[in-house]
A = this chain, B = another copy of it.
């Protein structure tokens, strides 16, 4: 029984296949086809974004969805190349060859599999929304930046955000007229098609047939809108083919793509770039932090998608991480780049009425057919149209709305957002991501250096006059100085110096301090040590009473204090009146 459960856990298809019917199959087929229409042009474009030949985009797009159908848990996820991953792949493999990208896929799979089996998924929880938002926006800006030269048909090489823009303006006079015009046309077309699905249609919806008609028109418009990338690429390609013979070489074209499926071979653990041969170790050292950053970013994307579409149901994060790991691992045998299921395609999938992860099989078959039948026609795809597809896809990734939200509800988070954004743009994506987590952690430290506690003077007649502290949560070293200053202010109230003569303090002079610990869960060592100093100081003339202390805290205090006074709230009065021996 346990074995069966385990196997079903590993292959979620075994759960949903039992109830799979025509209705579900139709939903999946429609979604599968729709996704393929989005995925195929995107994958060719993302391959060029990574700096590799277009076929590698297609190679990355069929095995992932098919495998995910068997082991994935989320119907909306569509495995394949993604904008951010392609950008990261470019930055880690720039100046090398496709072997590095394939090895990166292999190691990403291994790292994800290890993370899944080792239950390390919780690490993703340390990445907050402002970090994700800053990181994604930076990626979108960087991707758009990398494409501006292709939009205008410019040719130059550059490696950083600032130098790209500098080079862009230097080379601007060399812009190719026809490429620029084509890009402009494609971008306008894509934006127009995108807004098609939001179009208000005036159809009489009084009677049943009218309503049905309205629904049908709406659905058609939506489909045209979703298929805009494929339509745009197809139209531009036909156009490029037609004018190819009229005008001599008007557009920069994609060029030859070898037809057919990729050879199934183990990932390359050795390669030669120019005259240099790289051993496995040298390849790994060249990929460097990419071996951690890419799988992490890929995971991050998938987990975010799964959360959004889980609709309040419990998600099996471990299985998801294992699934993406297996997809990458197997894909690396098919000469694939790193894959995940980006949000943009998941949204299309959801809108197409997807029912199970099985839709990936239909998508996969369409990509395979494309590779077998359509590649000869891809020769004429203008590079400008691919750049247009990428730019129009990533522009919506820049998250401007969050700035207003953070300003209104949590301003401290703006530091995280802009820190991540700027460092990602100017220093590097991986630096931005890690620094974002660091900024979050430092803000948490900062917040804990001003813990929400006050030393209150209580004289309400119920209990003898005393000072009271109500600490909440944990008290950490960063807050020690804060508490120290509060207590000193109570013990030595500020005196105004008038011509050298100090006036007498007028504050109450009770020497009883009650610390209500019922909402206190933890001290760290540094705070404990400063408590030791504070309490021994206060105890010289007064008494410190720990009220309603939890067991772990009690043990910590017993360790550092001599004879601490613990009591429950009900016994407080008895402990506030000093007994004779103390």
Q: Which residue of B lies closest to A406 (CB)?
A: B525
Partner-binding segment picked from A36-44, A368-376, A515-523: A515-523
- Whether a CB of chain B sits under 8 angstroms from the CB of A476 is yes
How many Å lie between the Cα of A533 and that of B312 in the bound state?
8
Please determine whether A409 and B472 come into contact, CB atoms closer than 8 angstroms.
no
Contact with B along A555-573 (1 / 0, CB 8 A): 1100110000000000000
- A412: Cβ under 8 A from any B Cβ: yes
B556–A409 contact, CB under 8 A? yes
The B-contacting residues of A in range 527-543, CB under 8 angstroms, are: 528-529, 533-534, 537
Contact indicator B524/A492 (Cβ below 8 Å)? no
Q: Which of A124-132, A156-164, A173-181, A203-211 contacts B (4 or more CB under 8 A)?
A: A124-132
Output the least CB separation between A272 and chain B (Å): 34
In angstroms, Cα B481 to Cα A125, docked, is: 7
A129 CB contacts on chain B under 8 angstroms: 477, 525-526, 529
A444 within 8 A of partner (CB) = yes
For A529, list chain B residues within 8 Å (CB).
129
Q: Is the CB of B441 within 8 A of A519?
A: no
Chain A 477-496 residues near chain B, CB threshold 8 A: 477-478, 480-481, 485, 488-489, 491-492
Bits for A407-427, please: 1 = Cβ < 8 Å to B, else 0. 011101100000000000000
For residue A314, which residues in chain B have a CB less than 8 angstroms away from its CB?
485, 488-489, 492
A464 on the B face (CB < 8 A): no
Give A129 to B526 CA distance when docked, in angstroms. Answer: 5
Given A438-B438, A474-B473, A488-B312, residue A128 in contact with residue B409 (CB < 8 A): no
Other-chain residue from B1, B409, B478 in contact with A559 (beta carbon distance below 8 A): B409
Interface segment, one of A21-29, A287-295, A445-453: A445-453
List the B side residues contacting A410 at CB < 8 Å: 523-525, 528, 556
Q: Decide: A125 and B523 in contact? CB cutoff 8 A.
A: no
Is the beta-carbon distance between B438 and A128 smaller than 8 angstroms?
A: no
Stoichiometry, as copies per complex, reads 2
CB distance from A11 to the nearest CB of B (A): 15
Minimum CB distance partner of A446 in chain B: B126
**How many angstroms from the CA of A479 to the CA of B528 in the assembled complex?**
24
A417 CB to nearest B CB, Å = 9
User: Given the complex, which residues of B lie within 8 Å of A446, measured CB to CB?
Assistant: 126
Query: What sequence of 0s and 1s flags, for each residue 3-28 of chain A, a beta carbon within 8 Å of any chain B beta carbon?
Result: 00100000000000010000000000
Shortest distance from the beta carbon of A516 to any chain B beta carbon, whole Å:
10
Query: Which chain B positions have C-beta within 8 A of A492?
Result: 313-314
Separation in Å of the A574 CB from the closest CB of chain B? 26
Known: A409-B559, A441-B442. Contact between A521 and B452, CB under 8 A?
Answer: yes
- Known A-B contacts A130-B525, A473-B472; A312 and B409 likewise in contact (beta carbons under 8 Å): no
Residues of B within 8 Å of A451, CB to CB, are 473
- On whether A413 and B130 interact (CB within 8 A), knowing A125-B481, A480-B125, the answer reads no
A99 within 8 A of B: no
A377 within 8 A of B: no
A171: interface (CB < 8 Å) = no
Contacts of A313 in B (CB 8 A): 488, 492
Assuming the A-B contacts A444-B444, A519-B472, are A130 and B559 also in contact, with contact meaning beta carbons closer than 8 angstroms in the complex?
Answer: no
A579 contacts the other chain (CB 8 A)? no
Is A582 positioned at the interface, with any CB of B under 8 Å from its CB? Answer: no
Whole-angstrom distance between the alpha carbons of A393 and B311 in the complex?
64
Q: How far is the CB of A243 from chain B (nearest CB, A)?
A: 50
Q: How far is the CA of A446 from the CA of B89 in the complex (A)?
A: 30
Q: How far is the CB of A84 from chain B (nearest CB, A)?
A: 19
Question: Given known contacts A125-B477, A474-B473, A521-B452, is B409 in contact with A528 (CB within 8 Å)?
Answer: yes
Contact B441 A409 (CB under 8 A): no
Is A497 close to B, CB under 8 A? yes
Q: Give bound CA distance, A472 to B556, whole Å.
A: 20
CA distance A474 to B450 in the complex (A): 12
Q: Verify if A122 is at the interface (C-beta below 8 Å from B).
A: yes
A405 located at the interface, meaning its Cβ lies under 8 Å from any Cβ of chain B in the complex? yes
Given A128-B477, A410-B524, A472-B519, 20 more pairs with CB closer than 8 A: A125-B481, A126-B446, A126-B478, A128-B478, A128-B525, A129-B529, A312-B534, A313-B488, A406-B525, A409-B555, A410-B523, A412-B524, A437-B445, A441-B442, A444-B444, A444-B448, A452-B473, A452-B521, A452-B522, A470-B519
11 contacts between A and B (CB under 8 A): A125-B481, A126-B445, A128-B526, A130-B526, A405-B559, A409-B555, A410-B525, A441-B441, A444-B444, A473-B474, A473-B519
Top 7 A-B pairs, shortest CB-CB distance: A473-B473, A441-B441, A312-B537, A128-B477, A410-B525, A452-B521, A129-B526
